[in-house]
């Protein structure tokens, strides 16, 4: 049977879904962070969101899959970083771009134990 017809295991599909969850939630985190005018509040909210995802994944991911899950999260965040870099244009303020990159790079902390 050709390789492209192989069905992925439920484990692999769920690990990919975890990566997509993290990257999709980045847009909501960015939207929340951009509304704050105080940098301290933005940092505090960002850290709260990171801690929430870390606790969520640590409590719902079996320990034997944790390294694979961390790899999937980091791969998804890498793709998100590349997309964010490509979306930069000179018409956007540099502070807005740096805020987006800060959020995206901070998502790498989700997979840290």
What is the model's pTM? 0.81
pLDDT averaged over 10-residue windows placed end to end, the chain, 113 residues: 70 90 91 87 92 90 88 92 89 87 90 70
pLDDT at 95: 86
The H-or-E segment that residue 19 falls in is helix 10-34
pLDDT at 113: 59
Instruction: Specify the 3-state DSSP secondary structure of 60.
Output: helix
pLDDT at 9: 86
Token pair of 101 as six digits? 């990159």
Token pair of 19 as six digits? 């990566």
């Amino acid at each position: 049977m050709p390789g492209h017809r192989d069905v992925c295991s439920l484990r692999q599909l769920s690990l990919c879904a975890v990566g997509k969850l993290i990257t999709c939630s980045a847009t909501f985190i960015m939207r929340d962070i951009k509304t704050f005018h105080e940098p301290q509040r933005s940092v505090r909210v960002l850290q709260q969101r990171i801690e929430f995802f870390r606790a969520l994944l640590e409590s719902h991911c079996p320990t034997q899959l944790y390294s694979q899950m961390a790899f999937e999260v980091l791969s998804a965040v890498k793709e998100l970083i590349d997309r964010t870099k490509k979306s930069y244009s000179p018409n956007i303020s540099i502070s807005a771009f740096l805020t987006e990159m800060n959020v995206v790079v901070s998502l790498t902390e989700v997979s840290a134990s």
